[in-house]
Amino acid sequence: MKYNEISHYSHPKHNLKIDLTEVPFKCDGCKEIGIGSCYKCNLCDYDLHMHCAIPTPVIYHPFYPKCTFVFVSKPPGNVPRYCNACERGVSGFSYHCNSCGFDLHPCCAKLPTALDDGDIKMYLYRKVSASCDRCGRKGRSWSYRSSDKKYNLHVACVKDMLIESWQDLYYGRGLSRSSSTSTTARGRTRMPEVPGLKGALLQTHSHRYTTSKSKGSKVQKCCEMAGMTLQFVISAVLGDPTTLIAGVIGSLMSR
């Protein structure tokens, strides 16, 4: 169920209104990247993923049948914690299993188990024996793999690719807020648009396989994956696995 406007304990000053944005944002709940459907406070530039704004209090995941994941506002304890799905750090909203100590970002916890663009079907796996088409390694994080076993992408690698392209979101490489944001017609500050996801993907592969005999085949697979299938994978990782947002991702990838 979706509500057009909600009050949220994490932002008591103002109500949050449902929004659909084609501009990437950093969720103020889980601290991860998002795009598409979200809850926003326009006055404070405060954004929440749908999964973070209206979470399921307790979830059970098929990959961990013995675990009970409870939604928490901050990671428990005083030690660094990492998402079991994408291997990125957990610093905000998350799902935590007290008995096993596992953690999941809200969007990772709700990743679709199957994605279908009408041509290629991708299925989510906890572990895949085949190497990832981006990093070339086996294992690591959860993976999306095509039904014909031709394509394989780590969820962690998809996030890495996004962070590399969207470093402005994190101001982590000498960028200031003033230099990496712009103002909308309504006077709101927003993040810059995404600079070429397709280029970032191919650049990573070209560097990784410069001295490899398989360079040509790997880059070719990247080009093939840079179609609607990859768009759906990216939009799913960003928390909005819809045809509309996949199309938006596609237009950004073509730049």
pLDDT in tens, 12-49: 999 999 999 887 888 999 999 888 899 999 899 899 99
Token couple for 161: 């690719």
Which residue blocks in the chain are alpha helix, DSSP H? 50-53, 106-109, 155-165, 177-180, 197-208, 215-225, 228-237, 243-253
b or e along 13-22 (b: 16 or more beta carbons within 10 Å of the residue's beta carbon)?
Answer: eeebeeeebe
Dihedral sign for Cα 192, 197, 203, 209, please: positive
Strands 94-96 and 103-104: antiparallel
- Tell me the domains of the chain and their CATH numbers: 5-53 (no CATH), 58-109 (3.30.60), 114-166+194-253 (no CATH)
Q: What is the DSSP letter of 132?
A: P
For 200-244, write each residue's pLDDT tens digit: 444 444 444 443 444 445 545 555 554 667 788 888 888 888 877
pLDDT at 44: 92
Q: Is this prediction's pTM over 0.95?
A: no
For 77-113, write each residue's pLDDT tens digit: 889 999 999 989 999 999 999 999 999 999 999 999 9
192, pLDDT greater than 70: no
Under 8 Å between Cβ of 218 and 136: yes
Residues across the chain: 255
Neighbouring residues of 130: CB distance < 8 A, sequence distance ≥ 6: 138, 145, 149, 152
User: 3-class secondary structure for 56-112?
Assistant: CCEEEECCEEEEEEEEECCCCCCCCEECCCCCCEECCCEEECCCCCCEECHHHHCCC
